[in-house]
Chain A
Amino acid sequence: MGTLNDEQHKSYDMGMHTEQLSGRTMQKFFSLDEDGGRFTQPYTHEVDFDKKTDLDIKDMEASEVNTKMRELMAEGYGHIVIKNPLAKHSICVGILNRLKVDIEGSLGYFGCGLIDGPNVRITGRVGWSCAENMMSGTVVIEKNAGSTFGAAIRGGDLVCKGDVGSRTGIDQKGGTIIVGGDTGALSGFMMQRGRMVVCGNAGKDLGEDAFICTSAMVDDYCEGLAVDRLLLDAEGRDVGSAIELIAWGRIKASM
C-alpha cells in the first residue's frame, strides 16, 4: 500500500473511508495503489461539526433548500438543523460531503437521495425512495418510511426504526438497510449486494430476482420467498456468517 499524501489524509480524517454504525459493507473501496490520489469528491467542503445553524424551510422550494445547504457547507457549517420540512419532496439531496443533518419533522419523496457522506437523523417519517442511490453516510429515521426505501443504495447505513413500505432495498448494490418494524412485499427485489435486516415481518416475495452476495434477515415471519433467489433463508440464518447475527442482536437491543 502506498503512502498517504496530504489530500488523502484529509479524506481519511474527514471519515469518508470509515464505516458507520456496526455495519459491514460489500462496497468496493478504492485502493491507494490503484487510484492516483483522487480521494475526495469534487466540490466538497471542509466543515466544522461544531459550527451549527438552523434552516427553516417552511417557505422554501426543494431546490432552494439544497442550494442553501451547499452554501452553508461552503461557509464551514458542519451541523445543519432543518426545521419545518412539512413532508416536502427532494430535501437533502445530492449532499456529497461529511455533514451532520438533523431534520425535525417528516420528509416526502426522494429525501436524502444521491448522498455520499452525511449523517442524517430524521425525527419524523419519510415518503417513497428515501436515500435512493446513497453511496455512504448514515440516515436514521425515527418513525415510518414509505416504499422503495433505500432503492439502489451502494453503501452507507440506512435505518428506519418503524415500519417501511414495499420494495425495500430494490436494486440494492451495497450498504446496510435496517428496519426496526415490518417491511412490505418484494423487499430486496433485484438486490445485488449489501445487507438488509428486518426486525419484524416481511411481505411476500422477499428477494425476488436477488443475486448472490446479498443477505436478508427477517426476525419474525416472512410471507414467502421469491423463486429466483440464491442466498436467503426463511429463518434468516443462512446468510454467511455469525458476525451478522451478533450485529443483528445488538441492533435489536439498541433500537
Chain B
Amino acid sequence: MCGIAGIIHRNKSGDVGTEMTSMLRALKHRGPDSTGFALYGEPAEGEYVMRYKIAEQEELSSGFHIHKELEERKALVDERLRGLGVEILSEEAVTEYAYRCRIKFDGDMRKMADFIEDVDGVEILSIGEGLELVKDLGDADVVSDQYSLNGFAGTHGLGHTRMATESDVDIRSAHPYWAYPFKDVSVVHNGQLTNYWNFRRQLEHRGHRFVSNCDSELIAVYLADKMEQGKDLEESMTDSLSELDGAFTYLVATTDKLGMAKDTMAAKPMVIYESDDMVVLASEEVAIRSIFPHEVDTFDPYEGEVRVWER
C-alpha cells in the first residue's frame, strides 16, 4: 500500500524534520516495513551534503567479522574520496553503517558516485546542496530518532512509509530514491509500475544505474534521464503519465520545487492542502491534520494531474 507525504514552505524555513516525522507517523498503517525522509535544508555555498551507507542493517547480524569488514569498507571509501580530490569538511557516523558528510567537490559527480559505489556494500543515498536523504527499517519514530531528524530546519521535504510488495525489506528498496546523478532530486512513490523491467533495460542501456529491484526506483531514474535530455521537471513528470504504466502517485522534489503526479486511472490516493505559506500533500488527510491544530481545507487531485510548487 505505502504512504507518501510532502511539504514545502514558501519563502521561509520550517521544522520539516518534525513535520515529516509527524506525518509519516500518521501514515504508519500504510506501511510499517521501512521509513524514509528526503529533507531539504538551506544550501551552503560551494558545499554538498552526502549521505551514504556501507551495509544493510541485516548484515550486522551476520557474525563478528562484519564489524571489521565495515571498517575496511569505510577505509576504502575514504581512500577513494581522497583520491578523487573530494574535500571532506565534516563527517558523522549516524549508525555503524550510515554516514553523513559535508564535502567540497567540483569534479564529475557521476564518476565520483560510481567509484564510491564500486566498493562492496556501499550505496550513496544522496548528494545535494540542500538534500539529505535518510531511510532505514522501522517506523517514522524509530528512523527519526535514530537519525536525529526532529528539529531539522529546512524548506521542504518528502517522506515514505513502505509496505513491501514487490521487493525486499531492506534499505536499498526503501524510499525515497535519489535521482542519481542529479544533485538534490528525490522521489517517493505509492503504487506499482507494470512496465518496470522493459523500461529498466532501456535506461540501463543508456548508462543509468539501479541499486534495487524496486519499481519505484525506476521513477527516479526515469526523471533523471528526462532531465539529462534537457526537459524540465514538469515536462518530465507529464511525460511519465503516458510512458510509465501502472497505478501510481508519486512525489518528486528538487532544490526549490515539489511536484506530484497521479496516473490516468487515479488509482492511488493523494490529498493536498495549499496556502500562501505552504503546501502539504499526503496519501491521507490524517497525515496533513497531524501537523495542524485547526481545520484546514483540502482536496484530491484528479487523474492524470501533474502539479509543481516552488518554495
Binding site for B on A (CB under 8 A): 86-89, 105-106, 108-109, 123-125, 127-128, 143-147, 162-167, 182, 184-186, 203-204
A-B contacts besides A109-B284, A127-B269, A146-B271, 17 pairs, CB < 8 Å? A86-B286, A87-B286, A108-B285, A123-B295, A125-B297, A125-B298, A144-B297, A144-B298, A147-B266, A162-B299, A164-B300, A165-B266, A166-B265, A184-B302, A203-B302, A203-B303, A204-B303
Which residue from A123, A124, A184 sits with its C-beta under 8 Å from B266?
Answer: A184
Q: How far is B305's CA from A165's CA once the two chains are assembled, in angstroms?
A: 12
Q: Report A-chain residues with C-beta under 8 Å of the C-beta of B288.
A: 87
Q: How far is B284's CA from A236's CA once the two chains are assembled, in angstroms?
A: 33
Q: Report A-chain residues with C-beta under 8 Å of the C-beta of B67.
A: none
Q: Report A-chain residues with C-beta under 8 Å of the C-beta of B284.
A: 87, 89, 108-109, 127
Asked if B297 and A128 sit within 8 Å, CB to CB, the answer is no
Q: What's the least CB distance linking B300 to chain A, in Å?
A: 4
Asked if B300 and A87 sit within 8 Å, CB to CB, the answer is no
Is B289's CB within 8 Å of the partner chain A? yes
Chain A residue with Cβ nearest B266: A166
Q: Report B-chain residues with C-beta under 8 Å of the C-beta of A109.
A: 284
Q: How far is B283's CA from A108's CA once the two chains are assembled, in angstroms?
A: 11
18 CB-based A-B contacts, threshold 8 Å: A89-B286, A106-B285, A106-B289, A106-B295, A108-B285, A108-B286, A125-B285, A125-B298, A127-B269, A127-B286, A144-B298, A145-B300, A147-B266, A162-B299, A166-B265, A184-B300, A185-B266, A203-B266
Asked if A124 and B299 sit within 8 Å, CB to CB, the answer is no
Count of chain B residues near A, Cβ 8 A: 17
Q: How far is B303's CA from A203's CA once the two chains are assembled, in angstroms?
A: 8
Closest 10 pairs (CB-CB, A-B): A166-B266, A87-B285, A165-B300, A185-B303, A87-B286, A87-B289, A184-B302, A144-B299, A108-B286, A86-B289
Of B266, B284, B299, B300, the most chain A CB neighbours within 10 A belong to B300
Within 8 A of A (CB), among B255-301: 264-266, 269, 271, 284-286, 288-289, 295, 297-300
Q: Report A-chain residues with C-beta under 8 Å of the C-beta of B266.
A: 147, 165-167, 184-186, 203
Q: How far is B286's CA from A124's CA once the two chains are assembled, in angstroms?
A: 13
Which residue from A106, A186, A203 sits with its C-beta under 8 Å from B298?
Answer: A106
Chain A residue with Cβ nearest B303: A185
Binding site for A on B (CB under 8 A): 264-266, 269, 271, 284-286, 288-289, 295, 297-300, 302-303
Q: Report A-chain residues with C-beta under 8 Å of the C-beta of B265.
A: 166, 185-186
The secondary-structure label for the interface of chain B is loop
Q: What's the least CB distance linking A227 to chain B, in Å?
A: 16
Known contacts: A87-B284, A166-B266. The answer to whether A127 contacts B271 by CB under 8 A is: yes
Q: Report B-chain residues with C-beta under 8 Å of the C-beta of A162.
A: 299
Q: What's the least CB distance linking B34 to chain A, in Å?
A: 23
Q: Report A-chain residues with C-beta under 8 Å of the C-beta of B295.
A: 105-106, 123-124
Q: What's the least CB distance linking A84 to chain B, in Å?
A: 10
Of A87, A124, A164, A184, the most chain B CB neighbours within 10 A belong to A87
Q: How far is B284's CA from A87's CA once the two chains are assembled, in angstroms?
A: 8
Q: How far is B143's CA from A157's CA once the two chains are assembled, in angstroms?
A: 45
Q: What's the least CB distance linking A173 to chain B, in Å?
A: 22
Asked if A144 and B289 sit within 8 Å, CB to CB, the answer is no
Q: How far is B298's CA from A108's CA once the two chains are assembled, in angstroms?
A: 12
Q: How far is B289's CA from A166's CA once the two chains are assembled, in angstroms?
A: 22
Q: How far is B284's CA from A125's CA once the two chains are assembled, in angstroms?
A: 12
Q: What's the least CB distance linking A151 to chain B, in Å?
A: 14
Q: How far is B288's CA from A182's CA once the two chains are assembled, in angstroms?
A: 23
Q: Report A-chain residues with C-beta under 8 Å of the C-beta of B286.
A: 86-89, 108, 127
Q: What's the least CB distance linking A85 to chain B, in Å?
A: 9
Q: Report A-chain residues with C-beta under 8 Å of the C-beta of B289.
A: 86-87, 106
Q: How far is B285's CA from A237's CA once the two chains are assembled, in angstroms?
A: 36
Q: Report A-chain residues with C-beta under 8 Å of the C-beta of B297.
A: 125, 143-144
Q: Report B-chain residues with C-beta under 8 Å of the C-beta of A105.
A: 295
Chain A residue with Cβ nearest B286: A87
Q: What's the least CB distance linking A182 to chain B, in Å?
A: 8
